[in-house]
Amino acid sequence: MTLPDLPQLVEAARAWARGSYAMEAAVELLIHHGTWLLRSDFLRMAVEYAPAHYSRIPLAVVSWDTLHSALCNGLLPCSGSEAAVLRIALSIAGGHPVDLGPAISRLDSTNLAYVLAAVRHAAGDRSAWASVERNAP
């Protein structure tokens, strides 16, 4: 199945995650980070897109377990920062352990702000992303 363009994919992923602070936070982290949802290997391995005719609205289902396995087995080559963001998203959404010290030490200030917003969101603060978007370059 062909995936939709990025704006449609983002909205479908948000629709799928809606209702779970943890899922919403992890999806928003991937969206704001801006790398993973552009990678065809990532999308092919772990995102199942269901167009609107299967449900009332399109959904993009993320398989956190598949992503964790792929990352751990070297099937998603990436930079240390990209891996850290993905590992943190996996931990928030899927409960996969992350060694937080080394993960956050790989992040620049922008990605650290995204991670902090994701943690706040996972704790129930959906407004956490507003400050990140307000301070975006």
100 within a domain of the structure (yes/no): yes
58 within a domain of the structure (yes/no): yes
What digits encode the pLDDT tens for the residues 89-119? 999 998 999 999 999 999 999 999 999 999 9
- In 3D, which of 61, 71, 11, 65 has the Cα closest to residue 41? 71
Model-level pTM? 0.91
137 within a domain of the structure (yes/no): no
Q: Is 121 exposed, middle or buried (0-12, 13-18, 19+ CB in 10 A)?
A: buried
SS3 string of 63-104?
CHHHHHHHHHCCCCCCCHHHHHHHHHHHHHHHCCCCCHHHHH
Structural domain containing residue 15: 6-132
| Length of the chain (residues) | 137
The alpha carbon torsion through 107, 113, 114, 118 (nearest 10 deg) reads 120
- In 3D, which of 6, 9, 19 has the Cα closest to residue 59? 9
Report the chain's terminal Cα–Cα distance, integer Å. Answer: 35
1 within a domain of the structure (yes/no): no
Identify the pLDDT of residue 122. Answer: 97
- pLDDT band of 55, cuts 50, 70, 90: low
Per the structure, how many domains does the chain have? 1
> Which residue is associated with the tokens 């792929």?
70
What digits encode the pLDDT tens for the residues 1-40? 567 789 999 999 999 999 999 999 999 999 999 999 999 9
